[in-house]
Structure 1
C-alpha cells in the first residue's frame, strides 16, 4: 500500500458495499484487485455489507464492476487534498490568505530567532556569543546562510580556549551551542603526615603500600581504626613522618533485612496500537491522521521524525509519525524460591553500591526466613571483599 501522505495527496474515500450476498461482494473485490485498483482496510460488517477504502481514480473505475456483480456503493467519508480543495470552492481569498500564511510561516521559520548556550561554567555566555558572531551565528540570521554545523563547531572550538568539545544544533528557529569545558588537573593541597587506618572490622586479604610502613599482613584481623599503613617510617633514632599511601582490601561482614512481595507488577503490551501522522512546519505540527482516536489510559509512544532537505540545507518542513502502543500492568505470582533469589540479588546490588569500587561478594547466607502477609522476609549475611582504608592525620607532640 502507498504511504499515507501520498494517499492524502491523491485523495481517497471510505465506501460501503452492499450486495445480494457475500459471493457478490467477494467477486467485486477480487475483480478490483485483478484490475490493480488500490483498495485497503477491507472490513465485513454484515453478511451483505462490507466497507473499504479506495483512491479517487479507482473509485470511478468501479462502475462496470458494480453492473457485473449487482452491488451498490455508498460513500461514507472523503479524505485528502482533492476534497479539501473542492470544499474551498470559490473561496479564493481564503486560499490566497492560506498560501500567504504558509509562505510567511516558512520565512519566519527560516530565521534564527534565538541563540542559546549550554554547558558553560567558566566561560561566560557573552564570550561564547562573541565567538559565535565571529562565525556568523546571531539572531535574525537566515538558516541557509549558516555554515554546516560541523564547520561551525570546529570554528567555535578554535575560538574558545579551555573547551574540549563544542557542538552546534539547530532546532526549529533556535540554535543551541553546547559546550564541554576541559577539566584542568586539580592542584593538590599540601597534606600533613597521616596514617591509613581501617574503616571496618575485617580480615586483611591484600595490602600494597606505595608510601609508608605496612603494619598488617594478609589474614590479619583488624578492627575499625587500626593502623594499616603507618605514616611514620625509620627507626627510633631516625624517624620521619610522611603521607601514607596505598591500597588495602579485606573481608567485611554485613547483615541485611530483605522484603520481597510474592506478587510482582510488570508492564505488558496489549497489542492495541494507534498511528498519528503530523505535518511539521517550522516548530509547529499539523495533525493529518488520527483525529478520532482516543488516548489509551496507559500507553508508550514511539516517534519517527523526518525532515526535508534541499541540497545541504534542512528545510523547515517534515513528517512526524507517532506509534502509540497500549500497555497494561500485569500481576506475576512468584514462588518462595524465586522471591528468595530476587531478594538476594537486590540486596547484593545495594550492598555493592555501598561498598564502593571493585567490591565483590565472596559468600552469602540466609540467617532467618519467613513468609507472611504475601511477602518473604529474610535476614541475610554477606561476606564482601572491599577497600577498607581511610586517612587519619598524625598528631605531632606539642601540636
Structure 2
C-alpha cells in the first residue's frame, strides 16, 4: 500500500462512477491491477473512489464494457499544484526569491558569542577572531573549519589552555578555557597602620606589629595605631604591621527633599509597530502614522526563525509603545523627612564601607519652606579606620 505522501507526489483524482453495473466495474478494475482506495458505494448505481492520475485514462475500456460513466470530483497532488503555480508566475517567482534569500542570508555569520572568558576581554578575543577571518557578516564558506579556527585563535591568545569554535547556522560560539596561572602575591614592604580619619577607637586587633592605642582612645587622622617597629633602638626589628582597628566616626549630613515628587506612569493607551528583520536591519510593515500621544516608553519583543538548532537571520520585531504621563505627588512633611533620612543613610554607608554600621542618628535642625524640607542630621558610625603607611628605613 502506498503512503499518503507518495500518493500526493504522484498525484491522484477522486471520481464518481454511475451505472447499473458499477459494482462489476470496481471488481474488474481491481482484478486488472488498478490501485483504488477510499471506495464508497452509494446504492447500486453510484460509487466514489480515488486512483492515481496516470490510471484515470486507462479506465475507458472498462467503462465501455460495463456501460458506466465517470465524473471527476477532485484533483490532488504535486502535478496539479505545480500546474497551478505555473499559471501564477509572480507568486512562483516570489516563492523562489524568498527561498533563495533565506539560503543567501543563512550563508553569513550574523552572531558571534564568546563564552568562558574571565581575564581575557571579549573584544580581545573578537580581534583575534577577525585575524583568522571570523567576524560579523563574513561569508561562512570563506572561513576555515572549526578545528582550523580553534588552532589559529589559540595562537593569538596565549593566556588560554583550550579554544573551541562551534558553528551552528548563522551563529558562531567561541568557547574559551583560560590557563591557570599561580596567583602572584603582592610585594609588601614594612609598614604601620595609621588612622584614616578622626575617631574614638572601639576595637583593635593586632595580628603582627605593636598596638599603640587602646579602646576608647581618641585618635586623629595619621596617628599610628599598630606600629611595624618592634624592640628598642638598640635591638630593633621592622615588620609588616597587620590587623584591624574599628572606631566611632562622626558625620553631619545636610538633607534637602522637595515635597512634590514627580514620576512617570502608564495611561493605558498604546500602539504597536511591527518590523520584518533581516540580520541587524528592520523593515516596518505596520503601525504607520503619527502617534496619538507625546510621551511613551517602548517595550520590544523579537522572535527569530529557527529550524531545529539553526537560527536564521530572519525574524519579527514587535514594538509596543506605551503612553505615559508625568504625575506629581505632594508629600507631607513626615514622608519627606523619611525619604531624606533614607537617602542620607544610603550615601553614608556608601562612603563608610559595607562593614560599617550606624550606631546613632540625631536631627540637629529641621524646617519646611519654599516647598522643601531641610534637615541637618548628626550620625555616629562604627567603621574600620586603619590605612597603610610605609616605613622608610635609613639608607633606602
The alpha-carbon distance between structure 1 residues 211 and 154, as it changes in their structure 2 partners (threshold 3 A), is: farther
The match for 1:226 is 223
Task: Provide the TM-score with structure 2 as the length reference.
Answer: 0.63
Q: How does 1:62-141 map to 2 (within 5 A)?
A: 98-99=94-95, 101-112=97-108, 120=121, 127-129=128-130, 139-141=138-140
**Offset of 1:243 from its aligned partner?**
1.6
d(CA) in 2 for partners of 1:330 and 1:167?
53
d(CA) in 2 for partners of 1:382 and 1:312?
59
The match for 1:46 is none
d(CA) in 1 for partners of 2:170 and 2:230?
67
The match for 2:263 is 266
1:394 correspondence with 2:395: no
The match for 1:35 is none
The alpha-carbon distance between structure 1 residues 269 and 155, as it changes in their structure 2 partners (threshold 3 A), is: farther
Of 339-348 and 168-177, deviating more is: 168-177
The match for 1:384 is 381
Structure 2 unmatched runs, 5+: 1-86, 115-119
**Larger Rg belongs to:** 2
**Offset of 1:321 from its aligned partner?**
2.3
Which residue of 192, 195, 198 maps to 1:198?
195
RMSD of the TM alignment (CA)? Answer: 4.3
d(CA) in 1 for partners of 2:140 and 2:326?
50
The alpha-carbon distance between structure 1 residues 180 and 354, as it changes in their structure 2 partners (threshold 3 A), is: farther
The alpha-carbon distance between structure 1 residues 312 and 389, as it changes in their structure 2 partners (threshold 3 A), is: same
**Offset of 1:307 from its aligned partner?**
1.8
The match for 1:301 is 298
Q: Secondary structure at the match of 1:344?
A: helix
**Offset of 1:224 from its aligned partner?**
1.2
Which residue of 352, 374, 377 maps to 2:349?
352
Which residue of 186, 189, 203 maps to 1:188?
186
Structure 1 unmatched runs, 5+: 1-89
The match for 1:333 is 330
Q: Secondary structure at the match of 1:112?
A: coil
Deviations 1:287-346 (A, max 9, x none): 343234626422222222222222221123322222221111111111111111111111
d(CA) in 2 for partners of 1:346 and 1:170?
50
Name the count of aligned residue pairs.
302
The match for 1:63 is none
d(CA) in 1 for partners of 2:295 and 2:165?
36
Task: Provide the TM-score with structure 1 as the length reference.
Answer: 0.63
1:286 correspondence with 2:283: yes
Q: Secondary structure at the match of 1:338?
A: helix
